Amino acid sequence: MEAKRVGDQMCRHLGSNRPPIVILTGAGISAESGLSTFRGDGGLWAGHRVEDVASPSAFDRDPDLVYEFYNLRRRNLLSIDVKPNAAHKALERLQSEWSERVTIITQNVDDLHERAGSSNVIHMHGELLKIRHLDSGEVRSWNDDCDGSTLDGRWRPHIVWFGEAILETAAISEALMSAGLFLCIGTAGQVYPAAGFVHEVAGPSVEFNIQRTAISKSFTDAVLGSAAEHLPIFVDALLK
């Protein structure tokens, strides 16, 4: 089986060396938890042009539309059917059993890595369950709807919109620089800087996706198929 073969190969490649690992995750890892991806059929932007809901100018022009878009997503994330899947759990296992640091950098704004028990998770595109003050920049946890009347009326979703800088750049650079293995799971590789992280790690890299992507050629190896199915097998092989 592909995932076992690639896991065994990475094990051999690393030998007795157990380097820090960096894992980049995208919408595909949460697809099997019931959250839509961005660019697939029926993806999140279907029915909404991205610039109508995810940019500072959209928020200036029509804040109610932007608030409602994220309120719907927040309610969906908190619905009873959405829970971490076997891929999130496999990464938590890798974090707890690998002897060196394992950093998860996620483009996802959901909290499924944390619900699976992971720590050391960097949310480079923000978090759906947080809001940010428009003036002070204060960030607080928020599980309810948010709109122009929330608290003092000066709060926005804590989400990185198009044209805005990603979060935690220093922590991301430091993790990439010290890593000796890079795993990339469920991302289309179309949004930078995340799509370029594979070039910043000195060591082998593996892409997990149901199909080839814009950046597949940059990886040492690939496992084609569902992350929830294949990642647990790969992690088993790597931990042997």
Chain residues in the site for ligand OAD (CB under 6 A): 26-28, 31-32, 37-40, 43, 54, 107, 125, 160, 186-188, 190-191, 208-211, 213, 226-227
Nearer Cβ to ligand OAD (118/226): 226
What is the side-by-side strand order in the sheet with 221-224?
A: 121-123, 102-106, 21-25, 181-185, 205-209, 221-224
The DSSP annotation for 16-45 comes to: T----EEEEE-HHHHHTTT---SSSTT-TT
Measured CA to CA, the distance from residue 184 to residue 218 in angstroms comes to: 11
Question: CA quadruple 127, 128, 131, 132: dihedral positive or negative?
Answer: positive
List the catalytic residue out of 125, 133, 158, 230: 125
Question: CA quadruple 227, 233, 236, 237: dihedral positive or negative?
Answer: negative
Nearby residues of 236 by Cβ (< 8 Å), 6 or more positions away? 4, 7
Residues linked to residue 21 through DSSP beta bridges, in sequence order: 102, 181
Nearer Cβ to ligand OAD (18/212): 212
Nearer Cβ to ligand OAD (43/203): 43
Work out how close the CB of 210 gets to ligand OAD at its nearest, in angstroms, rounded to a whole number: 4
- 48 classed as catalytic: no
Nearer Cβ to ligand OAD (47/153): 47
Measured CA to CA, the distance from residue 149 to residue 139 in angstroms comes to: 17
Measured CA to CA, the distance from residue 75 to residue 142 in angstroms comes to: 11
Work out how close the CB of 103 gets to ligand OAD at its nearest, in angstroms, rounded to a whole number: 17
Work out how close the CB of 238 gets to ligand OAD at its nearest, in angstroms, rounded to a whole number: 18
Nearer Cβ to ligand OAD (14/191): 191
Q: Which residues are catalytic?
A: 125
